[in-house]
Structure 1
Amino acid sequence: MLPRETIATAAIPGGDTLTLVSHGRDFIIMLGREELMGTRMQFSEEQLAELTLERLQAPQPRLLIGGYGMGFTYRAALAKLPAGGRVVVAEVVHEILEWAKGPLAALTGDTLEDKRGEIIIADVAALIDDAIDGTTPLYDAILLDVDNGPDGIVRDGNERLYTRTGLAKAREALKPGGILAVWSAGTDPRFVEKLRDAGFAVEERSVRARPNNKGPRFIIWFAVRP
């Protein structure tokens, strides 16, 4: 059995510690003993971007992604982004970008230099507030992959994203027809009701961890602002 080798660690503001490990040719980001993401199972994170863009009607969509991680969602968004579109990523752990430029550079490629995208060291909730305040333009889509879902909070303070108030703010930061897409490790009927109570039309989609229809099943909610 191949051993896991610790490459680096980083503290989550208001949370636990992330650990980047290698396992043979693969890389994994751990939260304690839990695997948050890894290069063997990235399909659902890519689907978060691809399926959202498929559902958008905006010709030049402006996307906000909560969480960079290993960049799976960000790269997938750039790959499918229509001409004139833009992607903004909010990431609170600055070491994540150091990993992207260092041990994960082969995975990252040249996407950090892509002029269509911008990665900001900030809480995604703060960027949502900026859009509401008019500091930045409204978004066509907000993609959240900062936790393992509404019941799998990674960082203290993220709970507010999934409250009725937080969902109402996300709705206000979206243009009409905009989509709030939320990745989750599992289903949550109560959260679906919260989305509907916040004024969204909700679609729940099950996606596999791997493109060959294998691996664990995860959930993506697509909540549309009418």
Structure 2
Amino acid sequence: MNPWVLLDEAEVPGDGGKMKLYQRAFEFSISVKNDELMNSRMHGSEDALAELACKHVADRPTPRVLIGGLGMGFTLRAALEHLGANAEVVVAELVPAVVKWNQSHLADLAERPLEDSRVEVRVSDVGLVIKEQTEAYDAIMLDVDNGPDGLTHEGNDRLYSRGGLNAAKAALKPGGMLGVWSAEPDPAFTKRLRGAGFKIKEVTVRARGKRGGRRHTIWLAEKKA
């Protein structure tokens, strides 16, 4: 078997530890503190996050969506495929190196989505971007860390708190959709979404699309019009 090769590493802002990019043959992996955050062979659930959230708003004249977490670009690519030519997609990525990797080592995995003219990249905490404007986005997708209960970076906790959910709700336009990805189910988070006043649907999807037994969870939380 081919060994993993370390391609690059970078510090996560806010004492989040080292983020490392590995390659093994045609497979890539990103980890933090020895926990794998993402693998290029398993992006079916990331694709589903974008598809489910964007389908809800794709028929709007000029949909504007926010993606929290660039990852390997799969969520962004799927969003672009399900939105029209007049869409605007803002991507907030906390770690500058992840943007760099998506422009180099990882660029071809998702067919170079950063080169699409509809995309704006913000090297920033998505929580701060969410709080910049009210009723600014038709959809917000959070693909940050390993989900509400799988944190490798403690600063992400506020995204999934009641305050974080209230901020996301304020940033959505009426009838807008908040989509949240998670490696595992989380009944407490489901309860917080309901408590924040969202109309929610919890979906279980395959990590590798149509293959494999591993499952991930997606919450679709609609802001009432």
CA RMSD of aligned residues (A): 1.4
More deviation, 163-172/30-39: 30-39
Equivalent in the alignment of 2:60: 58
Report the residue type matching 2:209 in the other structure.
P
How is 1:23-42 mapped onto 2 (pairs within 5 angstroms)? Answer: 23-42=24-43
Larger mean Cα displacement after TM superposition, 164-173 or 100-109: 100-109
> Helix, strand or coil for the counterpart of 1:13?
coil
The DSSP-based 3-state class of the residue aligned with 2:159 is helix
Q: C-alpha displacement at 1:108, in angstroms?
A: 4.8
Instruction: Check whether the contact 2:71–2:98 (CA below 8 A) recurs between aligned residues.
Output: yes
- From 195, 216, 223, give the equivalent of 2:221: 223
Shift of 1:50: 0.8
Structure 1's unaligned 5+ residue stretches are: none
Counting matched residue pairs gives 222
Deviations along 1:57-81, whole A, 9 cap, x unmatched? 5343111000001111011111111
Deviations 1:144-177 (A, max 9, x none): 0112111112323211111111111110100111
Report what 2:175 is aligned to.
177
Percent identity reads 48
Separation of aligned partners in 2, 1:161 and 1:105: 28
User: Which of the numbers 186, 189, 205 marks the counterpart of 1:188?
Assistant: 186
Contact 2:103–2:112 (Cα < 8 Å) also in 1: no
Can you list the C-alpha shifts for 1:37-89, whole angstroms capped at 9, x where unaligned?
A: 11111111111101111223534311100000111101111111123111000
TM-score, structure 2 as length reference = 0.94
Normalised TM-score (structure 1): 0.93
Amino acid at match of 1:126: L
Can you give the 5+ residue segments of structure 2 that lack an aligned partner in the other structure?
A: none
Q: 2:123 aligned to 117, 121, 124, which one? A: 121
User: Could you tell me how far apart the structure 1 residues matched to 2:63 and 2:40 are?
Assistant: 27
Matches within 5 A, 1:1-226: 1-14=1-14, 15-56=16-57, 58-132=60-134, 138-226=136-224
* Cα distance in 1, alignment partners of residues 151 and 214 from structure 2: 19
